[in-house]
Amino acid sequence: MKHLFLVMILFASTLCNAASSDKDNDVVYFGNNAENNKGKNEMETNKIKITVNSQTFMATLADNKSAKAFQEILPLTIKMVDLHKNEKYYDLPKSLPANSSNPGTIQNGDLMLYGSRTLVLFYKTFSTSYSYTRLGKVDNPAGLASALDSGNVTVTFELQ
């Protein structure tokens, strides 16, 4: 009986470690928020909070399958990598549904999916020839550029 208990503890510990980090230790917390979403209607769950260091930004998720799938993996705390001094990105451990198109212009505060696994948070406005799937948009991106424009950063996404 004691041996069985130790095996169960080891198994539970292994599961917790697998759920809380990916192979590169970039995910600090990655969890299905279905339990926390019980009882919330769709209007309440289309808002997310994005935290960078001590700064918080509210965002509104798009009304599409990709955003709903993204919602299911929240809360999510990740180390995002800077690219071209205008965006932060992170390769998710699993694919999300994608329906990409070229937006022409990326806006400061756009939250997009590149391909089916790369989460991108843009902090500068610019023209693009690339295609993305819209996940959402920061409601008021004032201060987002200064919060994100410091190399690689840890960012938390959670339902509001």
For residue range 140-154, what is the model confidence (pLDDT) as tens digits? 999 999 999 878 999
pLDDT at 8: 42
Q: Which CATH number fits domain 26-159: 3.40.50.720, 2.60.120.1090, 3.40.50.880, 2.40.100.20?
A: 2.40.100.20
pLDDT at 147: 96
The pTM of this model reads 0.77
Non-local CB neighbours of 136 within 8 Å, separated by 6+ positions: 48, 59, 60, 61, 62, 67, 70, 111
pLDDT at 149: 84
Q: Residue 13 in 3-state DSSP?
A: helix
| Nearest residue to 10 (alpha-carbon basis) of 43, 18, 153, 40 | 18
pLDDT at 150: 78
pLDDT at 60: 98
pLDDT at 70: 97
Calpha distance 7→155 (Å, rounded)? 35
Residue spans per domain, the chain: 26-159
Show the low-confidence residues of the chain (pLDDT under 70).
1-45
pLDDT at 44: 53
pLDDT at 23: 41
**DSSP labels for 67-131?**
HHHHHHT-SEEEEEEEETTTEEEEE-SS------B--SEE-TTEEEEETTTEEEEE-S-EE----
